[in-house]
Structure 1
Amino acid sequence: MAPAIPQTFSTFNIPPTRRHVETIDFLLARPSLELLPEALRPSARGFLFYLATLPTSAPHECPACASRSIALATPAGTHGLRRDGYYCRDCNKRFNVLSGTPLRLLRSEEKWKPWMSYRFQGFSQELIATFLGISNKASMTWSRAFMEAMADYDTELHRWWEDHQSTHISELTDEAEKALEECVARLTELSTLTDRHCPYCGSSSTQVLTSRRATEYQCHGCERRYNNLTETPLSHIQHMELWPEYLRLLVVGYHDTEIGERLGLSKSLTNLWRQRFLEFMQARWPLLVHWTLWQWSRRRASVPSGPRT
């Protein structure tokens, strides 16, 4: 059973790249391939199946000469062998199903598929090592080997995945881009809405008091005042004109310091905004939160030293 998705991100006082239990639970609760473009998901599923079944499969040809004239030489278990050994009748070379592949030196094959599945979910190599009980060095070795194996399995999947492992800003998938557009549209709506029902009692009998910033209302039912941001994670957050640009920078992976440099915001303010915007996105656009956390985990902050432009 998948862990429950946390109810709020507003309690985050640390960057979401840290090993915070709510962050981990949230990522684990998301579908493992949702970060990938929809067109590449079948290939990714196939690659996971390949990692799970390759160690117990039989080779079709000799990795040295490509001859199909091969035969079983030593069954698994003989003299402590972990998998079946074969020999080639043409070149007399001995090999097993992993010989000549990037995975030939790896161990603990029962953990290969879970490792790659966690990676597709956006977890770091270090955190996956903790999950699976392997060393960080082994996790790094597996990462290199799996990338090579992915290149052999599907070049398009490998190209996309490799591009999105760099420290540079990556393009969003179509699904994430659509979700971002919807979220930005909602932010715009909050700044222009003039007929919001009372968030306290639900009454529609209201009076518009002012239209500055977020429209303010007077409820005729409970006689309380409120605005378009009342009872939302963005309540009391200023500079609405910067919200759309801030949101895009956050989702594609810019860190607080980088965003502050670009938008002229203080570190404490960008820290507060990150917490509030993550909470705002979680209810209707969890994919954006997932993408944001993934970008945070793979990028290093690289803040320009020159003056802001």
Structure 2
Amino acid sequence: MSQLPALPVPGHGDMPDYEVCLPMHLRADANRLIRYLHRLPSRRLRFCPWCSNTNLTCRAGLARRLPHYYCASCRRSCNSLSDTPFAKLHRMELWSTFALYLLAGWSSVQIASRLGVNHKVYFSWGKAIRKVMAEECPELHQWWAARHYRENLQAPEHIAVQQQAVMVWIETMLNAPHAICPTCRGNRTYRIKGIRPKFKCDPCVTCFSILSGTPLEGMIRPDLWLDFVKGVMDGQSIPDLKRSSGLGMGASTRWRGQFLLLIEALGHAELLGWITWMRSRRNNEAVSFVRRGGYLDKAQRSIYPQGKRKGGFV
């Protein structure tokens, strides 16, 4: 039998770090699942999968891809995969890598493209791995499946902290009563009326915004920002954000990009990984809903100011 390749290591090379999106207490289960799938094809059988007898003989030396056994009790042959959901599946060297991508929240299109398999293979492998996960790591399966099918959008604790930090940063910037003047570095400033955080410096008569130099510079309607960024962090699609905010498709796309840049600038890489997973699953959820006959409401006319020509506002 040909040797299996080395166990895939998360975060090395092109491998995603699947532990980023998992709670701390479930990471050991995820690692155990990856190791189990990697070693599954070469494991030694102790019981016959057909009669549960221990009277097995390993037939070494045969030109087979897996260890081959013969049961003297029921007189049937078997191999290390006979009693598993992977019995009729091929390319066993990729199963642990596939599970790694699945736990990291990659979409079916991304995984199929990366591993060079078609969608039929993807769904066959996914079904088998989910069954093994439910048997070997039930707590991990329960948590992962609820997020994978968007039945529960609650983030793990370390990512929830980052979500809260983003919300607090935006609230703090919008409600700041004072600021340092970027021209004279003085603190004798007062806030100009309005919801945007604009200030005026008494000594040098400079008007400035504390959002200058941030990804939110130039954005309008600050009253929508908190709800919008919460939708972004929950993995909502552009049409979802458009429906909830009242913005147009272009503005929703632009705002989402600016908030993702803000999250990256604040150093919340784990949160970006979570958003990518939730975003891919939202696409799948919406497509499945429409295929079952559902109807997604359309947004009304954009509330974003419209100019007479592209790029010009009135």
Q: TM-score normalised by the shorter chain: which range applies? A: 0.7 to 0.9
37 and 202 in structure 1: CA distance in 2 versus 1, 3 angstrom threshold: farther
> For residue 57 of structure 1, what is the aligned residue in structure 2?
43
Q: Residues 160-207 of structure 1: CA distance to partner in whole angstroms, max 9, x if unpaired? A: 222222255632222222211111111100111233345x67935563
**Are the equivalent residues in 1 in contact too, given 2:179–2:187 (CA < 8 A)?**
no
Q: Residues 10-40 of structure 1: CA distance to partner in whole angstroms, max 9, x if unpaired? A: xxxxxxxxxxxxxxx9x96863211122221
1:270 paired with 2:252, answer: yes
C-alpha separation between the residues in 2 aligned to 1:67 and 1:222? 90
Give the aligned CA root-mean-square deviation in angstroms. Answer: 2.8
> For residue 298 of structure 1, what is the aligned residue in structure 2?
281
> For residue 192 of structure 2, what is the aligned residue in structure 1?
210
Structure 2 matches for 1:192-271, cutoff 5 A? 192-198=175-181, 203-205=185-187, 207-208=189-190, 210-218=192-200, 225-271=207-253
C-alpha separation between the residues in 1 aligned to 2:184 and 2:30? 46
Deviates more, 1:284-293 or 1:146-155: 284-293
Deviates more, 1:269-278 or 1:171-180: 171-180
Q: Pick one of 59, 66, 80 that aligns with 1:83.
A: 66
Structure 2 matches for 1:69-108, cutoff 5 A? 69-75=55-61, 78=62, 80-108=63-91
136 and 94 in structure 1: CA distance in 2 versus 1, 3 angstrom threshold: same
The higher radius of gyration belongs to 2
Q: Residues 192-226 of structure 1: CA distance to partner in whole angstroms, max 9, x if unpaired? A: 1233345x679355633515223323569998642
> For residue 164 of structure 2, what is the aligned residue in structure 1?
181
C-alpha separation between the residues in 2 aligned to 1:202 and 1:47? 59
Q: Residues 48-85 of structure 1: CA distance to partner in whole angstroms, max 9, x if unpaired? A: 0111111112112111122223221244xx2x310110
C-alpha separation between the residues in 2 aligned to 1:44 and 1:117? 9
Residue 46 of structure 1: CA displacement?
0.3
> For residue 27 of structure 2, what is the aligned residue in structure 1?
41
SS in 1 for 2:148: coil
C-alpha separation between the residues in 2 aligned to 1:132 and 1:201? 54
Letter of the 1:262 counterpart: S
> Unaligned stretches of 5+ in structure 2?
1-10, 290-294, 301-314
Count of residues paired in the alignment = 279
C-alpha separation between the residues in 1 aligned to 2:16 and 2:258? 20
Q: Residues 226-274 of structure 1: CA distance to partner in whole angstroms, max 9, x if unpaired? A: 2121110011112222222111111112212222222322222211110
Residue 130 of structure 1: CA displacement?
1.7
> For residue 18 of structure 1, what is the aligned residue in structure 2?
none
> For residue 13 of structure 1, what is the aligned residue in structure 2?
none
C-alpha separation between the residues in 1 aligned to 2:45 and 2:73? 15
C-alpha separation between the residues in 2 aligned to 1:72 and 1:94? 10
Residue 149 of structure 1: CA displacement?
1.4
Letter of the 1:92 counterpart: R
Letter of the 1:73 counterpart: R
Deviates more, 1:211-220 or 1:97-106: 211-220
Q: Pick one of 182, 190, 197 that aligns with 2:173.
A: 190
SS in 2 for 1:208: strand
C-alpha separation between the residues in 2 aligned to 1:291 and 1:267? 23
> For residue 3 of structure 2, what is the aligned residue in structure 1?
none
**Are the equivalent residues in 2 in contact too, given 1:213–1:240 (CA < 8 A)?**
yes
Letter of the 2:189 counterpart: Q
TM-score, structure 2 as length reference = 0.79
Q: Pick one of 125, 139, 144 that aligns with 2:127.
A: 144
TM-score, structure 1 as length reference = 0.80
Q: Structure with the greater relative contact order (CA < 8 A, sep ≥ 6): 1 or 2?
A: 1
C-alpha separation between the residues in 2 aligned to 1:159 and 1:279? 32
Letter of the 2:174 counterpart: S
SS in 2 for 1:33: helix
**Are the equivalent residues in 2 in contact too, given 1:260–1:270 (CA < 8 A)?**
yes
